[in-house]
């Protein structure tokens, strides 16, 4: 299924990451290990901490097969 969401803040992005992780049956620890980040980072990302590294957040999204895109208003 191909679902597109419009995300407006870090909390919404974190919820998508959490949903993707759970849908693949991964724990936060397993995802952290696969992404090469700390468990704390995954936890904070899923909780919507605004200071999370965008590069690492995109890496985690990619591991979960979550495509992130941006567009400018017309």
Does position 43 have pLDDT exceeding 90, yes or no?
A: yes
Contact of 41 with 56, CB cutoff 8 Å = yes
Q: Mean pLDDT across the stretch 13-37?
A: 96
CATH code: domain of residue 33: 1.10.260.40
Taking the mean position of all CA atoms in its chain, how far away is CA 71?
19
Domain count, the chain: 1
Query: Of 15, 11, 16, 20, whose CA–CA distance to 49 is shortest?
Result: 11
Burial class for 13, CB neighbours closer than 10 Å (0-12, 13-18, 19+)? buried
Is residue 36, in this structure, part of any structural domain at all? Answer: yes
Structural domain including 43 reads 10-63
pLDDT in tens, 52-67: 788 999 999 999 999 9
Query: Of 6, 13, 18, whose CA–CA distance to 48 is shortest?
Result: 13
Give the pLDDT score at 2: 65
Is residue 72, in this structure, part of any structural domain at all? Answer: no
């Amino acid at each position: 299924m191909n679902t597109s969401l419009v995300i407006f803040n870090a909390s919404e992005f974190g919820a998508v990451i959490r949903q993707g992780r759970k849908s693949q049956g991964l724990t936060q620890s397993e995802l952290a290990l696969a992404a090469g980040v700390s468990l704390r980072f995954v936890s904070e990302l899923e909780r919507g901490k605004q200071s999370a590294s965008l590069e690492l957040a995109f890496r985690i999204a990619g591991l979960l097969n979550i495509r992130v895109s941006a567009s400018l208003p017309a």
